[in-house]
């Protein structure tokens, strides 16, 4: 079995509708530029409030993807 190394980054997704959509937006947008995306972990949920009403849902998501170092 070969050994692997994974990098973890954090992104924030937003949605006017739900935390689920916010998290999905974060993952799917990041997946467009990251290779070998493996794990997505919700680390924080919050809302943006305007005039006493929820204006947007936000999901902070930790993403793990396989790190490809330089070949020897």
Query: The pTM is what?
Result: 0.82
The residues pairing with 44 across neighbouring beta strands, listed in sequence order, are 60
pLDDT tens, position by position, 5-15: 889 999 999 99
Contacts of 31 (CB under 8 A, 6+ apart): 37
Ordered domains of the chain (ranges, CATH): 6-66 (3.30.1660.10)
Strand spans (E) along the chain: 6-15, 37-50, 53-66
Of 55 and 72, more confident:
55
38-48 CB burial, b ≥16 within 10 A, e <16: eebeeeeeeee
């Amino acid at each position: 079995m070969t050994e692997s190394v994974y990098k973890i980054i954090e992104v924030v997704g937003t949605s006017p509708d739900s935390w689920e959509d916010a998290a999905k937006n974060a993952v799917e947008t990041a997946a467009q530029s990251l290779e070998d995306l493996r794990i997505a972990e919700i680390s924080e949920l919050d809302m943006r409030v305007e005039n006493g009403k929820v204006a947007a849902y936000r999901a902070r998501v930790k993403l793990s993807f396989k790190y490809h170092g330089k070949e020897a």
